[in-house]
Amino acid sequence: MRMRRRSGAPDVEIIDLPDRHQHAYFVCLEEWSPEMEEGLELKRRWFELHRERGLRVKVAVTGDDRPVGMIQYLPIEHSPAEGEDLSMILCIWVHGHRKGAGNVQGGGIGARLLEAAEADARDHGALGMVAWGLHAPVWMKAAWFKQHGYVTADRRGARELVWKRFSDEATAPRWLVPQDPPERDPDTVDVTAFLSGWCPAANMVHDRARRAAAELGDEIRFRSFDTTDRATAVRFGRTDEVLVDGRPLQRAAPPSYAKVRRRLDRRRRRLQRRGRRAGAAP
């Protein structure tokens, strides 16, 4: 699919992900960023598993074969949501940094990627397309999908599940609902991680929390649940998140390793103070 140049955006073609661009895809088109390499191997393993489960990836490439946009989607049965005969978009991204390919957002590349993915999902038998969006002027904006015909299906905090029906037979999706909250140990700082591997940013946070917990000793309990196993994802209602004593470690951009370690250390020192007070009580 060849795209016309719009508003200064480069002329691009939408293609299925070729082997030569897999590395760019694994690091979300940010090959200039050493940080993105942290989550690469987890993303690679997830990719190999899920392309056997119906994962589809399309990229927007310029005339000189530079990838500047991407979209990945898969059957909803392997996503953070529930539904039947639907395809779910995990990520759509057009390069917006000054480094590398530069900022090419705002020229319609995202809309063309979305159109191509919807057409492909229809061709593969999906009765509708699902996406998740945020109520914030950042990546994966719910409002952007609504501009392209999507409507609300479900909500969870700042995250909205939106969808577009392709057939009258389609039924609305819903977020996974936690069935069994993870048990916490009150005598340790509890770090509970849920990991599928699809998102390099989430992979970074998982790895940084694991490393920091190992460095800080036995007062930190780190557990990781593999949510590529559907029963585990359904049980906890989460697929990619790290909780520290029940609260999310990441609320926006991935925190640096130093910030993660400081947060765990603060929780550890608070636990120690509580223990000393309990020991001094008559």
- Residue 1 domain flag: no
Are residue 101 and residue 203 in the same domain, yes or no? no
Where do the H-state alpha helices sit in 163-229?
A: 200-216
| Residue 32: closest CA among 67, 62, 64 | 67
Tell me if 199 is assigned to some domain: yes
Q: In angstroms, rounded to a whole number, what is the distance separating the alpha carbons of residues 240 and 205?
A: 10
184 found inside a domain: no
Where would I find the H helices in 38-108?
Answer: 40-50
Residues 234-272 have pLDDT tens digits of 999 999 999 999 889 987 788 999 999 999 999 999 988
Q: Are residues 26 and 158 in the same domain?
A: yes
CATH code assigned at 205:
3.40.30.10
Neighbours of 276 (CB within 10 A): 10
96: containing domain = 12-174
**Backbone φ and ψ of 46, nearest 5°:** -60, -40
Output the CA–CA distances (angstroms, integers) from residue 203 to 7, 43, 274, in the order listed.
Answer: 35, 8, 32
What is the pLDDT averaged over residues 12-38? 95
**Residue that is last in its domain, among 143, 174, 205:** 174
Last residue of a domain, one of 174, 208, 238: 174
With a cut of 90, say whether residue 59 has pLDDT above it. yes
Of all residues in the chain, what percent carry a pLDDT higher than 70? 93
| Residue 2 counted as domain residue | no
pLDDT, tens digit, for every residue of 222-241?
A: 999 999 999 999 999 999 99
HSE-up (13 A, CA, CB side) for residue 224: 17
Q: Are residues 99 and 227 in the same domain?
A: no
Backbone angles phi, psi at 113, to 5 degrees: -60, -45
Q: Is residue 210 part of a domain?
A: yes
Q: In this structure, are 253 and 153 located in the same domain? A: no
Calpha distance 92→28 (Å, rounded): 10
Say what the pLDDT of residue 279 is: 56
The whole-model pTM stands at 0.89
- State the residue for tokens 């993915």: 117
Residues 56 and 115 in one domain: yes
**pLDDT given at position 158:** 82
Say if residue 77 is in the same domain as residue 216.
no
pLDDT in tens, 138-188: 678 999 999 999 999 999 888 899 999 999 999 999 999 988 878 888 889
Q: What average pLDDT score do residues 194-209 get? A: 95
In total, how many domains does the chain have? 2
Co-location of 145 and 225 in the same domain: no
Average pLDDT over residues 35-40: 88
Inside any domain, residue 81: yes
In this predicted structure, what is the pLDDT of residue 244?
Answer: 94
Domain for residue 32, yes or no?
Answer: yes
Q: Is residue 198 part of a domain?
A: yes
Distance set, CA 12 to CA 84, 136, 156, 233 (Å): 33, 28, 35, 37
Q: Residue 17: which of 141, 125, 131, 116 has the closest Cα?
A: 116
Q: 115, 146, 174: which is the final residue of a domain?
A: 174
